[in-house]
Structure 1
Amino acid sequence: MEKWLLKLPLFLLLLLQQAASHSTVESLPGLNGPLPFYLETGYVGVGKDEEVQLFYYFLLSESDPTTDPLLIWLSGGPGCSSVIAMVHEIGPLRFVEQVYNGSLPKFVLNPHAWTKIASVIFLDQPVNTGFSYATNDPAHKYTDVQACEYVYEFLRKWLSDHPQFISNPFYVSGNSYSGITIPIITQLISNGNGAGQEPLVNLQGYLIGNPSTFRPQESNYHIPFAHGMGLIPDELYKSLEKNCEGEYTDIDPNNTGCANDVRTFKQIVSNINVEHVLEPFCVSDDDLQRPHQLSGERRLLDDKLISLQRGDKCASDWRKHMRYWANDPEVQEALHVRKGIIGSWIKCRKSIYRSSQNYTMTVNNAVAYHANLSTKGYRSLIYSGDHDYMVPFQSTEVWIKSLNYSIIEDWRPWNVNDQVAGYMRSYSNKMTYATVKGSGHTACSDKPEECFAMFKRWINHDPL
């Protein structure tokens, strides 16, 4: 940044930065040569006086962007940056699997990127997620519904600035905690269209992976899931069933038998990777010191120590690569990130929802939104990695069944390369439910080829 800019008051500096709202990214550190796909990044101001600045990554479909669907992708958390989906789930990039050695992590291309057939906006939301920020302290305080309203405002402003995509079929997409917010956002878009708010969004439906939907009751399905996976013995499971009668989250303090059983259960599964029960349990980047606090040598030692403690099972964990890559000054410059705004980049900023001063969760059950959207005829794809402990497939199947729609296509396997990739069922409300065999909480990370086939078939209105 030029020295004279540093002398300007903050509000003037922000105004100057906001003037150029988006830029094309020609190349990215970690990938040799020019990008083989179109990438645009930028900020869109929303809220009162645009005090909330939401950062996004836009990737153009590599097929026919004039007619291909347009998706907005929202990672969970709340507070997880959607760039993790761009470089580790449905986007065109994947980190090279190798032990971090102090140099900038490298990328390889993902041949199963959803951007092969769809344009995708990866949005950092809510406030203080990824590179998104607020220009004043009061703007950091909001509810989940307000955060959804910001997303809808973002979308309308983005489409106004990109009118060539207004007619493209539009879908709201994401995973995890976004299972709460995506139905709300879809409802807001639908309501806005009904009220004639310009620009009208060509809303066709939504898709969500391993969606949190009715908290905290869905945690009751951790125990049946763990039993089905062979993590706890029959004797403990039967005792839990008898003593707790299916309620494992809101335990009667006088029910000592249930409390003791639940305590034993939690001890047994305490070192299980809750995102994928078959994968090693690795330390989250959010549990480590921030990279800006460590020298390169100290960071490398830190990772080596963790790898030794975990028996090298986590030595090439992609989250470490993500953390160092996103905090590199050259990377942020290439992405056109505004300087001096956020401090360190964090994959999932847990302080957003752990502090009652910031994000307030007012919606704990999104089933009513699904029911309402079903009456309006929107399509939906709900998919579950079947080895996910965080949001077990059993809990998802329960709320889908509670909608009471008739089954159009009953439970059957769906295949990729003549192998079973999962199981599916479709309903009369245009909802398709699918499991992704052998995958965890972020199914597209674990089974990219299978998830791309699932998405391609569904988005093209073909049977899974």
Structure 2
Amino acid sequence: QAATSAIVKSLPGYSDDLPFKLETGYVGVGESEQIQLFYYFIESERDAKRDPLMLWLTGGPGCSAFSGLVLEIGPLKFNYTAFNSESDIPDLQLNPYSWTKWLLDHPKFLKSPLYISGDSYSGKLVPIIVQKILNGNRMGIKPIMNVKGYVIGNPLTEENIDYNSRVQYAYRVSLLSDELYEFAKMSCHGHFVNVDENNTNCLRAVQAISDVTYLINNPHVLEPKCKYVSPKPDKKRLTTHTIVDQGVSTTELRCRNQGYLLLYTWANNESVRKALHVRKGTVDHWVRCNRSLSYAKNIPSSVGYHQTLTNEDLRALIY
């Protein structure tokens, strides 16, 4: 069954007709297509037939790609200065910086250079997907995809490597004292994750590091840590009522990730769902990251996939 789709010509919060082609729809996955994945597709405003095609996967696992639409790589962004807690919906403005069934349903893009991309937890998924596509191309599985490379930002690769390196990084940017770092290094021998409960000195060191970095904004260490704005929303449930009923301070709206706040109001507005052709009743209350997702984490590391892909004729951007 091909993807079902609709063209979106306007969006609540944006005063004019959209100056780009936006398509939304569903792709069924599973043997009986019991799972319906919602997608949005934005066509290039230059040369759509020749420009590269990019698939963007948001991390989590389980986080919504709506984040990418108005917070990361999309052509629209929120107008933060115009928003107040009494508004029905946040205003949108143009951003100046701005899968196989789907390709079968959109054959004009089959020859477009394809880049698989994403951020955060997608650092594990993207290189695996690229390898799967290459394997499928070699086996002649249709459709043949013109994959040219991949792009991943702030990627997760392997928990022990990534999380252990945070202590070294914190020391290099002067978040840890010489004494604490040396004590931790001597006590933990470079292993700060899943510490042996019998290693009391290492446990003390890890707790001390946690205490002194608790109020640090991990992604941007020179900026304030905001109460509600967090890439890890499972630590504090954020809802439309949090914003409207409790009232979020203007300080929160000045935080780098303030779009997380407005996204809940925008995505849960019924007029937005109608404009995007979201099937009524499929989602009760939209959340940015679905932490109840049944997900098997059976690939501990993507490092080996990266190493294999370096032998392919591909371009890679890791930032």
Same fold (TM over 0.5): yes
Unaligned runs of 5+ in 1: 1-17, 114-154, 353-357, 384-464
Q: 1:400 is matched with which residue?
A: none
Superposition map of 1:54-133 within 5 A: 54-98=37-81, 99-103=83-87, 104-113=89-98
2:285 is equivalent to residue 344 of structure 1:
yes
Amino acid at match of 1:101: S
5+ unaligned residues in a row in structure 2: which ranges?
Answer: none
Which piece of structure 1 moves more, 252-261 or 67-76? Answer: 252-261
In structure 1, the residue matched to 2:239 is 290
Residue 303 (1) aligns with residue 247 (2): yes
Q: Percent identity among equivalent residues?
A: 44
CA deviations over 1:228-265 (Å, ceiling 9, x no partner):
22212111111111111111113222221111111111
> Following superposition, which runs of at least 4 residues in structure 1 exceed 4 angstroms of deviation?
none
Structure 1 distance, partners of 2:237, 2:198, is 38
CA distance in 2, matches of 1:250, 1:169: 42
Question: Conserved in 1, the CA contact under 8 Å of 2:2 and 2:104?
Answer: no
Are residue 314 (structure 1) and residue 252 (structure 2) matched? Answer: yes
Secondary structure of the structure 2 residue equivalent to 1:253: coil
Q: Which amino acid is 2:112 matched to?
A: N
Counterpart of 2:216?
272
From 376, 382, 397, the equivalent of 2:318 is 382
Cα contact 2:2–2:101 (8 A) shared by 1: no
Letter in 2 for 1:81: S
- Larger mean CA deviation between 363-372 and 271-280 belongs to 271-280
Asked if the contact 1:77–1:176 (Cα under 8 Å) also holds between the matched residues in 2, the reply is yes
In the alignment, the residues of structure 2 paired with residue 27 and residue 40 of structure 1 have an alpha-carbon distance, to the nearest angstrom, of: 11
Aligned to 2:164: 220
Offset of 1:36 from its aligned partner? 0.7
Map 1:168-207 onto structure 2 (within 5 A).
Answer: 168-207=112-151
Query: How many Å separate the matches in 2 of 1:280 and 1:88?
Result: 19
Q: Report the Cα distance in structure 2 between the residues aligned to 1:199 and 1:19, rounded to whole angstroms.
A: 13
Structure-1-length-normalised TM-score:
0.64
* RMSD across aligned positions (CA): 1.7
Of residues 297, 309, 315, the one that matches 1:361 is 297
Cα distance between partner residues in 2 of 1:337 and 1:19? 17
The corresponding residue for 2:30 is: 47
Whether contact under 8 Å (1:214, 1:365) holds in the other structure is yes
Q: Which residue of 2 aligns with 1:263?
A: 207
**Cα offset for 1:85?**
1.1
Partners in 1 of 2:300 and 2:200 — Cα distance? 28
> What letter is aligned with 1:28?
L
Aligned residues: 309
Q: Which amino acid aligns with 1:222?
A: R
Provide the C-alpha distance between the structure 1 equivalents of 2:211 and 2:38, rounded to a whole number of angstroms: 40
Structure 1 residue 343: Cα displacement: 0.8
Distance across 1 between alignment mates of 2:86 and 2:160: 41
